[in-house]
Chains A and B, each alone.
Chain A
Amino acid sequence: MVTKRENPTELVPLLRTMWLIRAFEEKVSALYAMREIRGLLHLGIGQEAVAVGTCSLLRTDDYVFGGHRSHGHAIAKGADINRLMAEIAGRATGYCAGKGGSMHIVALDAGFVTATGVVGGTIPLALGAAFAAKEKSKGQVAVVFFGDGAGQAGAFHESLNIASLWRLPVIFVCENNGYAEFTPLSSHTLIERLARHAQTYKIPSNTVDGNDLLEVREAMTKAVQHARTGKGPAFVECLTHRLRGHYEGDPAKYRELSELAEWKEKDPIARFTRELKHRKVVADKDIAAIESEARKLTEQAAQFALASPWPAPGEVASQVTA
């Protein structure tokens, strides 16, 4: 529901960003199917509300870290979709000149510090950015997105402990989508809610419906305020679901079709659209325009990417050390 603090007209851009992420990833998927994009791809279709709900509350100079499923986080933080698409397509014009790819997005101009191909790999890095933020005393915060699979990694526990001990301005955003790669959470741990771990380390935490944009925003508003005002770390667990496989091409036989159908009903974009319509903030024609604008922009991004040159092989040696 729309809370009192939310100004309805400020909510429309959030819908735009969710659509931009959805259209972008659907385009990536289509290009992958056409073999225009090759390489490991992990899409976050269905999880857009977490990225947008979180990043819409951040400043450009806040530090955001992601994981292997982070196209949406980068877009929500303000990354340029042309350079992002070019990177995923392995082109010289990409953010990382074709050296990073889908799992290793870096968009420093937008404050998206880095993603990682390693589950839990950026959690300690976010601690460091928070440590630097504290030193600089400009009220910056660090945010790290990770999945439920990271909650069983040592890096996660070491980081929660240090963040708590040193009161670092870091917000741990757990996208609990129920599956660690191909395995349901229940096969990996008896701890059903990862926010429980935050309690262990005395970090304030909240578990929210990650497919409800406004609920994510509300929890995140408190978390960001907490970190920004020097009170230390916060932890928000967002219950969500990816509507695709772990990677593009994953037949996802580990998931019941009924479960998928259930989550499709909870699609965060459809839910937020219904809410805005109910509030009479947008009409059907506005919604159609938002979607078609997103598709147009991603189409242009795809054209930019595919028209861009491949990196020259000799470039491999150009950025090994600074």
Chain B
Amino acid sequence: MSKQKRELLQGTLDLLILKTLALEPMHGWGISQRIEQVSKGILSINQGSLYPALHRLEKQGWISSEWGSSENNRQAKYYQLTLTGKEQLAEETENWEQIATAVTLILQTN
């Protein structure tokens, strides 16, 4: 845990949420934990932007939500990817890869 936590790049939060939900339906807490774990603690999610982002994605129709009980037997709001959400994820992933390649290319030039 010595690695310094990084701020998320603008616009990438949506992509990360969609990717996380592509694996299985998850509640807000779970999403933030999962992202932190998978990124080996480099990325941390600010709750102040997580929940507004979830509500926004739901409103756009990319994710949907329902209430269910959690591992610790509490009622939690679970989000899951919709069909259009899957398409959106594919699109955004491709988009991201292109940008990443481009940025890497530029950084590698001497």
**Pair from one complex:** no
